[in-house]
Structure 1
Amino acid sequence: MPRKKRSWNPTLFYHVVMRGNNRQVIFQNEEDYAEFFRSMHYTYDRYTFHLVAYCMMNNHYHLLIRSPNEPLGKVMGTINKRYSNYFKSKYHYRGHLYESRYFAKPAIDAKSVLAVSRYIHRNPIATKQPMVERMEHYPYSSFHLYKKNQPHHIPYMTTTLLPSLMPVLKQTFEDYCIFCEQDDDEIESIDFL
């Protein structure tokens, strides 16, 4: 039976998750993470896309991505194939690197875009054993770009959108970072719109 065709809306951001097969490690060292970023650069040179949040864990990754011109499947297919080829060649790996097709769920409004970005950025501290004490210390997440609020050289990364979606009078990088750092019970009382 053929796979169901994915829907794609070029105006929406999608929460994309890709896991290693059987949850195996797909990023073994710093060089692997760097190669994944090179795969994204390679893809961006061919198909324009925009990220507002990312987090690469050792056995999976998260992207909050929008592809305005090409179907998201074409963008993700290129990123995943390029990285998979690298990994298989480097580690003499055979078989499927990834568990299945990537997961993609649209973020349909400002509140859901903010919620997904917060979830993505909290990944390194939300594990059973937190990987870092503070989110900005995790080097393979976009959170440090928001925390530092300095110019960066990642052409496909947009850092101005998320703060602009915060409630009026809280549309700063600092307020966005506080939103991400707060515990879940503190978040529920915030009116986003």
Structure 2
Amino acid sequence: MPRCARIKSFDSIYHIMVKSVGGTLLFRCDDDKERYLQTIKRYQENFKFKVYAYCLMDNHGHIIIDACGADISKIMHGINQSYAQYYNRKYERAGHLFADRFKSKIVDSDRYLVTLSGYIHNNPSDIDGYKNNVHKYRYSSLGIYLGIRKDSLALVDAAFVMQQFSRDVKNARMDYLKFVQSCDKDELKRVIAFKEEKAEYRSERNIIVRNVEPEKVIDFVSKYTNEDGSSVKLKHVKNVKALKSLCAFLMRGLCDMRQKDICFVMGNITQSYASKLCFEGYMLTKQKDDYRNIIMDFLKEYAASY
């Protein structure tokens, strides 16, 4: 029986749930949860989507993702495939890790978004020791919301939900504390240092229109790297690795191109090589100062948003 087409739109916010196949533990240890969050961050830097909340349990996980104009299927396929490869190598196993496709539901109102964040943050209440202490669960974004844990990956935009309670940071945290009904409020008040912060919560949605033609990407990167753009389609050409890698990276993340489209543009290369180029382009933006700002510079020049 054919599967139903996933309901998607380019400007949607999604409730994503991932679940392991059978009785397999999706995350066998804390390092696995850390790896999954790091993988989300890597794809976030590529596709420029936002994460509003998350909670990772041992056999499933919840994430609220604002796709910001990107294709949610491409985002989640990349994240889950990358994590599954890591998992199978680490535990010397083969086969599927995730149960069928990831589940997604469009978040269609602010009220639903806020309620959903509370549901996600209360997931650890079923774990021994966390029923009245869900704020202490490390692999949930609740601690980030309440200001008791630093977002070391800079992954979560907590402000988008918190500003529904108040623009003032202190008041928003206090109101969100009250909203999390299943938590021990006295304990939460004790552990949260409500400072007299002058900051305000301000976060707006920014939908990126991802329709830049590949020729413009190649032209932009060739000027950025001072390399000959015509070399992108030539095989076995040395000294243009940065050009090809950065082109593939931008095409994949900011132009909504499929792997096979990138393969065609780059002279009918294999999909595995295209994937490798995308990753190498990402690493260049992380490791080389010359390319650290290429994403923002590209967005300023080409990718219109609203």
| TM-score calculated relative to the size of structure 1 | 0.84
Count of residue pairs brought into register by the alignment: 181
Q: 1:136 to 1:27 in 2, by over 3 A?
A: same
| Deviation string, structure 1 residues 91-112 (Cα, Å, up to 9, x no partner) | 0111110111111011110110
Q: Is the deviation greater in 166-175 or in 85-94? A: 166-175
Q: Percent identity at matched positions?
A: 25
Provide the residue aligned with 2:151 in structure 1.
152
Provide the residue aligned with 2:94 in structure 1.
94
Determine the C-alpha separation between the residues in 2 that align with 1:161 and 1:102. 24
Q: Does 1:48 align with 2:48?
A: yes
Maintained 8 Å contact 2:49/2:65: yes
Q: Does 1:36 align with 2:16?
A: no
**How far apart are 1:68 and its partner, in Å?**
1.0
Unpaired runs of 5+ residues, structure 1, are 184-193
Maintained 8 Å contact 2:50/2:157: yes
Q: Is the deviation greater in 131-140 or in 150-159? A: 150-159
Determine the C-alpha separation between the residues in 1 that align with 2:101 and 2:24. 15
Structure of greater Rg = 2
Aligned-residue CA RMSD (Å): 2.3
| Deviation string, structure 1 residues 56-98 (Cα, Å, up to 9, x no partner) | 0000000011111211001101110010000000001111101
Provide the residue aligned with 2:108 in structure 1.
108
What amino acid does structure 1 have at the position aligned with 2:46?
R
Structure number with the higher strand fraction is: 1
- Secondary structure in structure 2 of the residue aligned to 1:65: strand
What amino acid does structure 1 have at the position aligned with 2:104?
A
Higher relative contact order, structure no. (Cα contacts within 8 Å, ≥ 6 residues apart): 1
In the TM superposition, 1:119-134 aligns within 5 A as: 119-125=119-125, 127=126, 129-132=127-130, 133-134=132-133
Provide the residue aligned with 2:77 in structure 1.
77
Unpaired runs of 5+ residues, structure 2, are 184-306
What amino acid does structure 2 have at the position aligned with 1:175?
D
**How far apart are 1:164 and its partner, in Å?**
1.6
Maintained 8 Å contact 1:21/1:99: yes
- Secondary structure in structure 2 of the residue aligned to 1:32: helix
- Secondary structure in structure 1 of the residue aligned to 2:28: coil
Maintained 8 Å contact 2:122/2:182: no
**How far apart are 1:151 and its partner, in Å?**
6.0
Q: 1:150 to 1:27 in 2, by over 3 A?
A: closer
Determine the C-alpha separation between the residues in 2 that align with 1:135 and 1:10. 33
Moved over 4 A (4+): 167-171
**How far apart are 1:168 and its partner, in Å?**
9.2
Maintained 8 Å contact 1:15/1:106: yes
Provide the residue aligned with 2:245 in structure 1.
none
Determine the C-alpha separation between the residues in 2 that align with 1:96 and 1:45. 26
Provide the residue aligned with 1:162 in structure 2.
161
